[in-house]
Amino acid sequence: MKPFYLIGLGVIVVAAASCSSSTSLHERTHFSRTDSLTDIYLVLQDSLLQSWNRVISHELDRKETLSEMVDQLLHSTIIDVEQKKVYDANLDQIERIRFTQKSMNDRHVIEEYDKACAELARQLSALSETSSELQSSLSDLESLNLYNAQQRQYYDSVASQYNSFIKLNWSDLKELGSSVQLEQKPLFITVENR
């Protein structure tokens, strides 16, 4: 049998929990449209950031794979030190011209970046075909190109939802002040179709 003070404590905890839940329920009923819009906006913004980070992560992985291919080509004596310097300079250039969320507004930024990546990948792939040791790097590169395309499509779907939400709720969101960014996000598909 439980001591009396433990039973009494249990009753108090249950009573406090029921008061707490009714208070929470009461508080929930006072959410305004602005509160709901803010909540949705923050969720969309977080999803957009996570998606963007995945896009950039895959771009960095692709650059790393290209860099490893250059190192393997040198190690396999398919290229010499001078050729490696040229390829390393190309990799540095790719890093400098990589798009950002802001620079995506200029379609040429992504076009130039993608062309530079594709050209370097083509050159390294052509050299790598002569070495059986480099075939796994070629396979990795093909997989990364596929993943990059998928991540860009996913980002576009999230950005489209974000853009639609901003457009639909512009006037209400505008009242929330400067903490809410109301800029439409550019899409990869828009850039590709121009």
> Do the domain assignments include residue 28?
no
Let me know if residue 102 belongs to a domain.
Answer: yes
**Within-domain flag for 14:** no
Res. 139 pLDDT band, cuts 50 70 90:
confident
The share of the chain scoring above pLDDT 90, in percent, equals 52
Q: Please enumerate, as own/partner, the contacts of 37-45 that have beta carbons within 8 Å and a separation of 24 or more.
A: 37/169, 37/172, 37/173, 37/176, 38/176, 38/180, 40/165, 41/165, 41/169, 41/173, 41/176, 41/180, 44/158, 44/161, 44/162, 44/165, 45/162, 45/181
Q: Give the model's confidence band at 7: pLDDT under 50 very low, under 70 low, under 90 confident, else very high.
A: very low
Mean pLDDT to the nearest integer, 33-45 = 83
Residue 175 counted as domain residue: yes
- 97, part of any domain: yes
The rounded distance, in Å, linking the Cα atoms of 77 and 74 is 5
**What pLDDT sits at residue 149?**
93
83 pLDDT higher than 80: yes
pTM reported for the whole predicted model: 0.75
- Is 51 a member of any domain? no
Q: Is 172 exposed, middle or buried (0-12, 13-18, 19+ CB in 10 A)?
A: middle
pLDDT tens-digit series, residues 141-178: 899 999 999 999 999 999 999 999 999 988 777 776 65
For residue 163, the enclosing domain spans 58-193
Residue 9 clears pLDDT 60, i.e. is over it: no
The DSSP secondary-structure symbol of 132 reads G
Q: How many domains does the chain have?
A: 1
